[in-house]
Amino acid sequence: MLELNGVSKSFGGVHAVRDVSFVLEQGEVRGLIGPNGAGKSTLVNLISGLLAPTAGSMTLDGLPLKGKSAHQRARLGIARTFQNLRVFPSLSVEQNIDVARYAAGGAPLVDAAIAEFGLRDKLTARANALSYGDQRRLEIVRGLALGPKVLMLDEPAAGMNEEETAALGASLRWVQREAGCALFVIDHDLKFIMTLCDRITVLDMGAVIAEGSPQEITQNPKVISAYLGEDIGAEA
Ligand SMILES: Nc1ncnc2c1ncn2[C@@H]1O[C@H](COP(=O)(O)OP(=O)(O)OP(=O)(O)O)[C@@H](O)[C@H]1O
């Protein structure tokens, strides 16, 4: 349903994303991994409309995304969270969620998501009084409140301990089951990605070097060499 065809982005002489093509199916949980500077955040920024590609095209359910702003894409069903948190700091948890909920005309699953992500007792707290993990979970619930077709998560497990990361993985599986939206997840925690995702796309120097199941990815020689020095098999 989300299709990328030959998408590229250059910043001056830096080819951040090179000729990327793939299809993200409805309800799929897809991981996006790659070494630092591989182009992961740039790719998410291109899909969400914060950046315009230098070349290539994208469609959502067959509808071309070219020329559509980030705001319009959010309305069409492309939601995201950010590597650097972007909650409204002085609004309460509930107000943060409501901003998205009303923009989307009300998403039925939001109350259940609030409970699933452990925010029910924190609805009146100011967002900037929350722990880092809770702010990350709030961003996810806010994304879900848009009723998305695709929810892109930029490093959702960053700063979380092992226990929190495992709980996050279980909650994201809940999202996939209940909301039926596709998840597109960037993270440096390979164990988290390998356990969570059905399929994984690997970027290196802007280009897709591999795509497949977690098992295929850990055995792929190109991936192993891109992650030289890291035992990705042992992480899975
Ligand atoms: N606005 C920009 N202007 C110039 N260069 C940029 C810009 N944004 C990204 N880049 C460059 O594009 C390349 C890809 O960066 P990007 O942040 O997408 O990688 P990443 O895989 O998300 O990295 P990380 O894992 O460290 O977050 C890098 O070389 C980066 O320096």
Q: Which residue has the tokens 């490093």?
A: 155
70 Cα: distance to centroid of ligand 1 (angstroms): 19
| pLDDT tens digits, 18-46 | 999 999 999 999 999 999 999 999 999 99
57 Cα: distance to centroid of ligand 1 (angstroms): 20
Cβ atoms within 10 Å of 210's Cβ, excluding its own: 20
pLDDT at 148: 92
Binned at pLDDT 50, 70 and 90, residue 236 comes out as: very low
Rounded mean pLDDT of the chain? 92
227 Cα: distance to centroid of ligand 1 (angstroms): 17
Q: Of all protein residues, whose CA lies closest to atom 14 belonging to ligand 1?
A: 39
Q: Of all protein residues, whose CA lies closest to atom 12 belonging to ligand 1?
A: 16
Atom of ligand 1 nearest to the CA of 43: 18
CA dist., res. 155 & res. 183, Å (int): 12
Domain boundaries along the sequence of the chain: 2-87+145-235
CA dist., res. 30 & res. 36, Å (int): 19
Question: For residue 111, what are the CA distances in angstroms to 9, 98, 123, 133, 187?
Answer: 38, 11, 11, 19, 27
Binned at pLDDT 50, 70 and 90, residue 113 comes out as: very high
User: What ipTM goes with this model?
Assistant: 0.96
Q: Is the pLDDT of residue 95 over 80?
A: yes
- Nearest residue to 116 via CA among 201, 59, 32, 177: 177
pLDDT at 17: 98
For ligand 1, mutation pick of 7, 40, 42, 82 (most atoms within 8 Å of CB): 42
Provide the CATH topology of domain 2-87+145-235. Rossmann fold (3.40.50)
Q: Of all protein residues, whose CA lies closest to atom 18 belonging to ligand 1?
A: 39
When pLDDT is averaged across residues 150-156 and rounded to a whole number, the result is 95
Binned at pLDDT 50, 70 and 90, residue 231 comes out as: low
Query: Three-state SS across 20-41?
Result: EEEEECCCCEEEEECCCCCCHH
pTM over 0.80: yes
186 Cα: distance to centroid of ligand 1 (angstroms): 14
Query: Three-state SS across the chain?
Result: CEEEEEEEEEECCEEEEEEEEEEECCCCEEEEECCCCCCHHHHHHHHHCCCCCCEEEEEECCEECCCCCHHHHHHHCEEECCCCCCCCCCCEHHHHHHHHHHHCCCCCCHHHHHHHCCCHHHCCCEHHHCCHHHHHHHHHHHHHCCCCCEEEEECCCCCCCHHHHHHHHHHHHHHHHHHCCEEEEECCCHHHHHHHCCEEEEEECCEEEEEECHHHHHHCHHHHHHCCCCCHHHHC
When pLDDT is averaged across residues 163-191 and rounded to a whole number, the result is 93
pLDDT at 233: 57
Ligand 1: does its nearest atom lie under 6 Å from the Cβ of 36?
A: yes
Quote the tokens at residue 74. 């959010």
Share of the chain above pLDDT 90, in %: 79
Q: Of all protein residues, whose CA lies closest to atom 31 belonging to ligand 1?
A: 37
Task: Supply angle C-alpha 69, 132, 143, rounded to 5.
Answer: 30
